[in-house]
Structure 1
Amino acid sequence: MELTEFMAAEGVIVVGGGPVGLWLAAELRLRDVPVTVLEARPRRSPHSRALTVHPRTLEVLDCRGVVEPFLAEGVRIPSGHFAALTERMDFRPLDTPFPFTLSLPQARTEELLEEHAVRAGARILRGHRVTGVEAGADAVELTVEGPDGPYRTSAAYVVGCDGTRSAVRESAGVAFPGTATTLWAWMGDVVLDAPPAGPAVSGPRGQLMVFPLPGGVHRVVGNDPDTLRQARPGELTFEELRDRVTAIAGTDFGMRDPRWLSRFGNATRQAETYRRGRVLLAGDAAHMHFPAGGPGLNVGVQDATNLGWKLAAVLRGTATDGLLDSYHGERHPVGAELLLNTRAQTALMTTYSSEGQALRGLLGEFIATVPEFSRTLAERMSGLSVVYPPAEGASAHPLTGRRAPDLRFADGRRLFELLRGGGRVLLDLTGGAATGLPGRTPDTVVHTAPLAPHDRDTWRRVTAALIRPDGHVAWAAEETDPETLTRSVSGALAAMAGQGVAAVG
């Protein structure tokens, strides 16, 4: 069939209709940016690689008013594992409305996110496989294989959310350095007539984790000494899965009725840049890793949350193009830490010697008996510890760049509700003493109310703060003089439009 021309009116084309691409599309539509999602799969996969929704992702969903369906259907787990250790991190002390991980199959997560994106006005085209990307000075042109044949389309910006084998990344010439696969773990969604009492079984013969899924199914995930190999084994069979589980646990837990069997490796890579001109990358297209602790979907959604408001601001002319550079500057280090974390867990999960088992036992003891250690790990795993750097050379308040908690105000409102419009939030915490604060625009909510009584020491002396649309603090001050506050806010708003991070405060 001849190559047809189809010039899109959309401001942004998102390539990939998984959780990251769907969330990014909704974020862009929240700010009235035209967006089309091109997804190669003709239909959503019934299988779910990801199961875990972390606390920070739940906060992000709450900041857009869409968390309730996830909470209604997911299973709340008030703890998390590190490297499949039997001792688990306690999420309950975390400063969040969601001190738990949520177990929800990715297929259902995608369905909920697609409903949200469509309600917001995103156009989603399935069966459209991008085969080439050519970026110019003013637009990006894509070559696509659609259900009716090949065609060309264009947009002001293209974002590759198309997975580890990203066609967008490869077409844009972005390197994807890292390490090759050295082990092949295995997993199966099966019925267990006698599931284990705890989620983890660990020993010199391997590590095993078992997660309940809807419909009476359990996911069994594990690795053993035989998984340490570079060459991919053949397809996983039910008999092999049952034998490996029995070797580790001494029982197959009454395993039957396999629904899905798969292997996965530990190849670890990261895109050298998340932005090349008008082409950007997010999610698995930007970082590839062993799925220890289930962080991939979560970090990808948080990539999209960081990028969405910046891309919209540039397209709407309320920020300079330099704002997009801060996307790489802020999220690439988060991706690097993700890879460090999963590599460390992989090393612990594949140490079968007596010395390795001793190390696992020692770290497990620390998690169980040292609350600060457990909490630090939990904050890293959950995404709550991410801090973005302030503008270079700026003298910033200690809160700058940190995730803002769900602050409660004396008038009964809370911060996450104020963020639901997708704009920035300027907080006057003096209760009206700084009524001259600038920033009342369609993109800015100005909220004047003191904080409700609480135990957050770091916020007690703050008189004003500017919260970015992604929920991070752009600027904060403890100044009480109204004129000084007004000047500081003006500088912070200007810095946010140009660099994405706060200036001084």
Structure 2
Amino acid sequence: MADILIVGAGPVGLTMAAELARYGIGVRLVDRSPHATETSKALAVWSRTLELMDRAGCTPAFLDAGLRVDGASIRSGGTVLGNPRFGDIPSTYNFVLMIPQRETERLLAAHLRSFGVAAEREVELTGFTEAADHVEARLRHADGREETVRTPWLIGCDGAHSTVRHGLGVAFRGVAQGDDWLLADIRLEGAGAPPRDEIASYLHRDGPFVIFPIPGGRARVIASRGRTDPDHPRPEPTLGDVQALIDARAGGGFQAADPVWLTNFRINERKVAAYSRGRVFLAGDAAHIHSPAGGQGMNTGMQDAFNLAWKLALVARGRAGAALLGSYSPERSAVGDAVLRNAARMTDLGTLSNPVAQAARNLAMRFLLGLHTVRDAVATQMSEVEIAYAGSPLSRGPHAGARWDPAHDAGPPPGAGSEPRFLLYAADAERGAALAARFPALLERAPRTPPEASALVVVRPDGYVGLSARGPAWHEAAGYLEALAAAPA
């Protein structure tokens, strides 16, 4: 079988390649850039992403390199509007891990190399042609050499300006937010600086100002700066600009120093309608981009990769029918829609310009964030542990599509190791073993004990409930697995 071709060696492409390689699938990972990301870019790795990394065995390296942040603060002037904490997130990883994207890429590249695979740099996809049973892709190397490769599937993880997406000719619908934003990676000095274990947001009449702690004693600052004439772009920010924002919006009391990255950016909110067509898939920024509010962009893209990789592995090995791949787009597109809505809502709230609307927002936030249930809901949403696939073609029965609580697992999590198998949870171990023997390519050999004796649950390799039933629903379970194992379309 020819290698699966992945275009784009950022966090999403590296995750995709590593997951496929872990499952024994041949991959080629190409990127037109001569080197990996050298700036911090995306910073946050949330709880659900860390849980999924557990399956791959690479979470410890991230925990060693990152900074654990336990909560957030939201202020307006001298008033604290709320202090959401992450300690009640229902996960072993009840925090957000702050780690610069360059470190994320370094760790993922090392993880990928452990499977004998490395990204091929300065190799550009110039075009491709789809056929019924393969994709023919054209590559250009740094020395000008042209190469044509035949791949069973092509995966575009090549960012907002995706060549794969352009080659498909699909629309990237959305809008560009009009404000300029400042980004600065700096050191903060002085007694008034916010604690290193929280994300500090300051809501101001002129726009939001947010501080994210970074490992190594640094911090990321972002702030809106209003609109400028597109024909007269704003000059790159200076350290003095950052200090002026600290004094005006955060009340001063601390100083900006030692900048390593100062830039302006604008927020785009765009998404494709479908994440796949035929044998071509899109993941990460190639499929969806949105406001950095909530820090969910990279996490959503990496979870695209976790979702698709086990499905491709089963189909590539002939253990599941090709129809399984049809679940990728509806599942992840629905998640992309939700992340886009939530990030846009957070940005809109932060950038309200009408003084009356600002006052009403602050009053409402102070009241709502005083409620424990609301604080928990905010943290859970940001952590992405609430993501579910209730409407998926793979979900059957009550609670199907929900995340399977890792606390239910006495053994390795679903999808761990080199085989992407489903797990069966059933009280009747004998009948469970008989079902597993009937579907050895799909089910783990030994059934596990369900949290409730009357439950029969089939859990997917990515840790979501596929089938949920009560009582001796063996016929339903067999039918579910038969549908998955159907002959390739």
TM-score, normalised relative to structure 2: 0.90
C-alpha distance in structure 2 between counterparts of 1:418 and 1:165, whole Å: 32
Secondary structure of 1:215's match? coil
Report the 3-state secondary structure (helix = DSSP H, G, I; strand = E; otherwise coil) of the residue aligned with 2:114: helix
Bigger drift between 171-180 and 361-370 goes to 361-370
Equivalent in the alignment of 1:34: 26
Alignment CA distance shift 1:431-1:322 (3 Å): closer
- Among 65, 89, 99, the alignment partner of 1:104 is 99
Preserved CA contact (<8 Å) 1:80 1:101: no
Whether the 8 Å CA contact 2:239–2:256 is kept in 1: the answer is no
* Maintained 8 Å contact 1:20/1:300: yes
Give the match for residue 211 of structure 1.
212
Match of 1:434 in 2: 431
- Inter-partner Cα distance in structure 2 for 1:82 and 1:380: 17
Contact 1:80 1:378 in 2 (8 A): no
List runs of 5+ in structure 1 lacking aligned partners. Answer: 1-8, 452-458, 501-505
Q: CA deviation at 1:422?
A: 4.4
Whether the 8 Å contact between 1:211 and 1:219 is mirrored in structure 2 is yes
Question: Using the alignment, how far apart are the partners of 1:98 and 1:391 within structure 2?
Answer: 26
**What amino acid sits opposite 2:161 in the alignment?**
R
- Counterpart of 1:444? 443
1:127–1:146 Cα contact (<8 Å) kept: yes
1:488 aligns with 2:485: no
Give 1:467's aligned residue.
459
Aligned position for 1:288: 289
Conserved in 2, the CA contact under 8 Å of 1:185 and 1:227? no
Is the partner of 2:127 in helix, strand or coil?
Answer: strand
The aligned residue for residue 423 of structure 1 is: 420
SS in 2 for 1:257: strand
**Aligned with 1:127 (options 94, 98, 122):** 122
Per-residue deviation, residues 81-116 of structure 1 (Å, max 9, x unmatched): 789995243222222111111111111111111111
Q: How does 1:55-204 map to 2 (within 5 A)?
A: 55-80=47-72, 87-154=82-149, 155-194=151-190, 196-197=193-194, 199-204=200-205
CA contact under 8 A between 2:395 and 2:401: conserved in structure 1? no
Give the partner amino acid of 2:407: L
How many angstroms does 1:419 deviate by?
3.2
* CA distance in 1 between partners of 2:36 and 2:43 (Å): 16
Quick one: which amino acid aligns to residue 88 of structure 2?
Answer: P
Residues of 2 paired with 1:332 and 1:136: CA distance? 24
Work out the CA distance in 1 between the residues paired with 2:66 and 2:142.
35
Q: 1:401 maps to which residue?
A: 401
Equivalences for residues 212-231 of structure 1 within 5 A? 212-224=213-225, 226-227=226-227
Q: By how many angstroms is 1:118 displaced? A: 1.7
Q: Deviations along 1:31-64, whole A, 9 cap, x unmatched?
A: 2111011012211122011110011001001122
Checking the alignment, whether the CA contact within 8 Å between 1:439 and 1:493 is kept in structure 2 is no
1:454-478 deviations in Å (ceiling 9; x for gaps) = xxxxx43553321111111111222
Partner in structure 2 of residue 277 of structure 1: 278
Q: How many residues are matched?
A: 476
**2 CA distance for matches of 1:134 and 1:82?**
50
CA distance in 2, matches of 1:499, 1:382: 37
Aligned letter for 2:480? A
Q: More displaced, 295-304 or 379-388?
A: 379-388
Give 2:12's match in structure 1, choosing from 11, 15, 20.
20
- CA shift for structure 1 position 200: 2.4
Q: 1:288 to 1:417 in 2, by over 3 A?
A: closer
Per mean C-alpha deviation after superposition, the further-off stretch among 114-123 and 342-351 is 114-123
SS at structure 2 position matched to 1:361: helix
| Identical-pair percentage | 33
SS in 2 for 1:90: coil
CA distance in 2: counterparts of 1:406 and 1:235, whole angstroms:
46
Q: Which secondary structure state, in structure 1, belongs to the residue aligned with residue 213 of structure 2?
A: strand
For residues 189 and 438 of structure 1, the distance between their equivalents in structure 2, rounded to whole angstroms, comes to: 55
Counterpart AA for 1:222:
A
Q: Find the aligned partners of 1:395 and 1:119 in 2 and give their Cα distance.
A: 34
Which amino acid is the alignment partner of residue 292 of structure 1?
Answer: A
Counterpart in the other structure of 1:47: 39
Q: Once structures 1 and 2 are overlaid, which stretch shifts more, 82-91 or 254-263? A: 82-91
Q: Following the alignment from structure 1 to structure 2, what is the Cα–Cα distance between the partners of residues 325 and 208?
A: 42
Equivalent position of 2:237 in the other structure: 236
Tell me the SS of whatever aligns to 2:407.
coil
**Pairwise CA distance, 1:296:** 0.4
Flag the 1:227–1:437 CA change in 2: closer, same or farther, 3 A: farther
> What letter corresponds to residue 140 of structure 2 in structure 1?
E
Q: Distance in 2 between matches of 1:91 and 1:210?
A: 17
1:454 maps to none
Seen in structure 2, the aligned counterparts of structure 1 residues 462 and 13 have a Cα distance that, compared at 3 Å, is farther
- Give the corresponding residue for 2:352: 351
> Is the 1:65–1:417 contact (alpha carbons within 8 Å) kept by the matching residues of 2?
no
- Cα separation, partners in 2 of 1:237 and 1:205, compared to 1, 3 Å: same
* Residue pair 1:83, 1:346 contacting (<8 A) in 2 also: no
Q: Matched residues in 2 for 1:221 and 1:252: separation?
A: 18
Partner SS state of residue 69, structure 1: helix
Q: d(CA) in 1 for partners of 2:203 and 2:285?
A: 29
- Give the SS at the match of 1:339: helix
Once residues 229 and 399 of structure 1 are traced to their aligned partners in structure 2, the CA distance between those partners, rounded to angstroms, is 51
**How far has the Cα of 1:123 moved from its partner?**
3.7
For each residue in 1:336-368, what CA deviation from the matched residue of structure 2 results, as whole angstroms up to 9, or x when unmatched?
111111110111111133223223323422443
Tell me which amino acid in the other structure corresponds to 1:190.
Answer: I
**Structure 2 gaps, min length 5:** none
Shift of 1:383: 1.3
Q: Distance in 2 between matches of 1:124 and 1:139?
A: 22
Cα 1:166/1:386, change in 2 over 3 Å? same
Specify whether residues 105 and 388 from structure 1 end up closer, same or farther in structure 2 by C-alpha distance, changes over 3 A only.
Answer: same
Q: CA deviation at 1:333?
A: 0.9
1:306 and 1:297 map into 2 onto residues whose CA distance is: 14
